A and B are shown apart, each in its own frame.
Chain A
Amino acid sequence: METDTTGFIKTKKNRSLMWFLVPITVYLLFFFLYPVIYDIYISFFDYRLGSQAQFVGFGNYRAMLNDSQYMGSLITTMVFVVAAVVAELVLGMIIALLLNNEHPLMQGIRTIILIPTVFTPLVAGLVWKALYHPDLGMYTYYLRKIGLDIGRGLTVERSSALFSVILVDVWEWTPLMVIVILAGLKSLPKDPYEAAMLDGASRLQIFFRITLPLLRPTLVVALLIRTLDALKIFDIIWAITGGGPGTTTTVANLRIYEVGMQHLKIGYAAALSNVLLVFGVIAGVFFVQSLYKGKEA
């Protein structure tokens, strides 16, 4: 981080650059803040598309507290986000360390491993749905073949349905994590490693004492993006399980979709999504603060 003096000089010298911030601010005010304000406003109304809106105060929010499906979906969302993001981080780290050498085979793998990340999520969902098909799916068939007890199918048993959709998210987004971590690894300074080698530190020690702290900012950024995106998970689950069996894979966005897009209850859907937004805000602030803390340290 720059010292105070340079910071001061920067401010004076570059004041005109502040104009560069105007377009994005205006744009987001109009297209981001306005919809958010509209959502907050409409969440105080009982408004169903096609009929008159009626002011109900906090009625929608009170109704939400009794909406066991939505409350349950918030918990499912949390489980989904934490499990998927942690799995992606750990797996991404392992793969990045495996691929972080110049063997031609590893370079080749590095090139193709990104393909899942650019898959259209809807396509990914439909493909995995076919692979998971409880009778004809390739995964189902071979998992049974090797003697694994998957009951009536991974996506249709209540015990494994959530796991099976998390796995698809891991499949789709771990490669991104790998690429980000690889990029971080490449830009690490060499000196600390040489010093550690001289001290005779073990690989594990080097990893935890040097690599991980140095990678911290990269990881925080990657975690932030993945967490915010995972909170909004929709396409994959919608395509594979539709929220079932029961409510086991109903994440918040799926419930909001049902209320807003299928039952056309816009006011209530707005209230539900505002609550989800609060979770996003909390996660966002947490990660940004921790990013700054890392930088200042």
Chain B
Amino acid sequence: MAVAGYTNGTKYTLWTLRTLVVICLVIFFMLPVVWILTTSLAQRIAMFKLPPQLFSKPTWKNFSYIFTQMPVLTWTLNSLIISLGTMVLSLIIGVPAGYAFSRVNFTGKRLLLIVILLTRALPTIVIVLPFRVIMQSIGVLGTRFAVVLIDTVYNAAFTFWLMSGIFESIPEDLEEAARIDGCTPIQAFLLVAVPLSKPGLVTSALFAFIFSWNDFLFALTLTSPDTATLPLGMLSTYGVLQQGWTYMAAMGVVAIIPVVTLSLFLQRYYVSGLTFGGVK
């Protein structure tokens, strides 16, 4: 059947089908998002009603409870510092390495790639225990820095990989021209290659930030009470003997708003950054 060979009838059916599928998918992906927003504003008693209500009489009580009864601002600040720290450290370590990887051929290259990627395969549960011991021996256990260090293990590799793909897709000619004009390799990297790889940089930065922001297990193991992050705070809203859906939703909204805003804001960069340079 040729592409242009549809009759009007089939075309209409297809259109309807497609719209229906899109609507179902939008509901599937968006319902939990809507639920958390409306629940964060719901009365606690409304959670007991059947049929379940998506919208009920709104109240700010949940937010005022979490902000007055819990150190939400401290948690947020900690999350922010840890995520920014991870982002900066991952970029500093990963971006130059990714560049070198794309510009130099050497034996054992593939092996190095595999080893670096394997950091991503490392089971999280058990790395935290030896890591805790190391952190204690260098005296940073319980600080935000300790969490940054472990988050960077998982993220530097990803940054490295993504950036090596990005740099590979950038033609070398421009750097060569710069080198002829007297730039050192480092200058060529910083002045020519880095500015050209902006979408990749934004993508790497965002992913490192989100990974770190969302991490729960590392923060649970490595922080002290002063340096606890938002996901840890989530669990405090969940009292054992009473249902805490509304408080949990309010905390959840606080936890996801920064990353959602950031990612929506930066979307035009990373849609192109995410090709991993794999497709030329």
Interface set of A (CB-CB < 8 Å, partner B): 7-8, 10-11, 14-21, 23-25, 27-28, 31-32, 34-36, 38-39, 42, 94-95, 98, 109, 111-124, 126-128, 130-131, 136-138, 141, 145, 171, 174-175, 179-180, 182-184, 186-188, 197, 200, 202-203, 214-215, 217-218, 220-221, 224-225, 228-229, 231-232, 234-235, 252-253, 256-257, 260-261, 266, 269-270, 272-273, 276-277, 280-281, 283-285, 288, 291-292
Contacts and interface: CB of A to CB of B under 8 A. Distances in A.
Contacts of A32: 119, 122, 153
Contact of B156 (A28, A121, A225): A28
Contact of B29 (A16, A116, A253): A116
Given A34-B130, A36-B122, A120-B214, A179 B279 contact: no
B279 A234 contact: no
Contact of A235 (B127, B210, B217, B245): B217
B72 to A, nearest CB: 14
Contacts of B36: 123, 127
Interface string B14-49: 000010011001101111110110010000000110
A11 B104 CA distance: 5
Please provide the 5 A-B residue pairs with the shortest distance between their CB atoms, ordered closest to farther: A280-B121, A217-B278, A20-B100, A273-B126, A20-B96
B216 interface: yes
A291 B256 CA distance: 34
A221 B118 contact: no
Most chain B beta-carbon contacts within 10 A, residue among A20, A203, A269? A20
Contacts of A20: 96-97, 99-100, 189
Given A111-B264, A126-B252, A184-B275, 5 more contacts: A18-B100, A31-B131, A98-B22, A109-B26, A180-B275
A35 B110 contact: no
Given A21-B101, A120-B256, A123-B255, A114 B279 contact: no
Interface of B: 1-3, 18, 21-22, 25-26, 28-33, 35-36, 39, 47-48, 50-52, 54, 92-94, 96-97, 99-101, 103-106, 110, 112-127, 129-131, 133-134, 149-150, 152-153, 156-158, 160, 165, 172, 185, 189, 210, 213-214, 216-217, 230-231, 234-235, 238, 245, 248-249, 252, 255-256, 259-260, 263-264, 267, 270-276, 278-280
A interface majority secondary structure? helix
A126 B94 CA distance: 33
A285 B121 CA distance: 11
B126 A124 contact: no
A117 B263 CA distance: 10
A234 B231 CA distance: 14
Contacts of A203: 3
A215 B48 CA distance: 48
Contact of A171 (B32, B189, B214, B271): B32
Contacts of A281: 118, 121
B249 A127 contact: yes
Contacts of A118: 210, 214, 256, 259-260, 263
A281 B111 CA distance: 12
A14 B104 CA distance: 6
A221 B276 contact: yes
Given A11-B104, A292-B110, A184 B279 contact: yes
A261 B152 CA distance: 23
A221 B161 CA distance: 10
Most chain B beta-carbon contacts within 10 A, residue among A27, A137, A272? A27
B156 A260 contact: no
A231 B272 contact: no
A11 B100 CA distance: 10
B231 A18 contact: no
B110 A288 contact: yes
13 contacts: A18-B100, A20-B96, A28-B153, A32-B119, A34-B130, A35-B131, A138-B35, A145-B51, A183-B272, A183-B273, A269-B126, A272-B126, A280-B120
Given A126-B234, A179-B271, A234-B125, A24 B116 contact: yes
B125 A17 contact: no
A238 to B, nearest CB: 9
B96 A127 contact: no
Contacts of A126: 234, 238, 248, 252
A197 B260 CA distance: 40
Nearest to A266: B129
A228 B121 contact: yes
A277 B104 contact: no
A90 to B, nearest CB: 13
Contacts of B28: 171
Contacts of A252: 123
Contacts of B99: 17, 20
A135 B270 CA distance: 41
B54 to A, nearest CB: 7
A278 to B, nearest CB: 9
Nearest to B264: A111
A122 B231 contact: yes
Most chain A beta-carbon contacts within 10 A, residue among B119, B131, B152? B119
